[in-house]
Amino acid sequence: MPLSDEEVDLRRAVWSALSELYLDTEPPWEAVAATCAASPFSLDALRRILFDEVDPVLRFNMSSVAGVWQGFDEAWLVAAIRARRRRPWPRLAWFEERRYPWRELRPLVVAKRRPDVP
């Protein structure tokens, strides 16, 4: 089912942040986690956005000899994700919980969402 313009607007910043994990450079983990933590999405929804929306469009950049390393154009990214949007494949959540880059990102998002305790 295609995403509405409102859903795209909610996801745009998350898509852009998650795309940083697919560049041929060390990811800015803290910045990506901060964007994800500030979003209205649950951890499960963020995992689904990563693996169902961003990963299918960008995964091959990591294995390309001439991969993108400066950043993806946001307009291109949004158009590519919207054009590819398909029904999610059934997957085992326990496997995705241990899969890169989620295994590194999840604890950072959780930590950023916790209220500061003195």
Q: What are the residue boundaries of the structural domains of the chain, listed by start?
A: 5-113
Looking up tokens 């880059």 gives: 101
Say whether pTM exceeds 0.85: no
The answer to whether 17 touches 46, Cβ cutoff 8 Å, is no
- Paired tokens of 116: 């500061």
> pLDDT for 2-61, tens place per residue?
888 999 999 999 999 999 998 888 899 999 999 999 999 999 999 999 998 999 888 887
Q: How many helices (H) and strands (E) does the chain have?
A: 7, 0
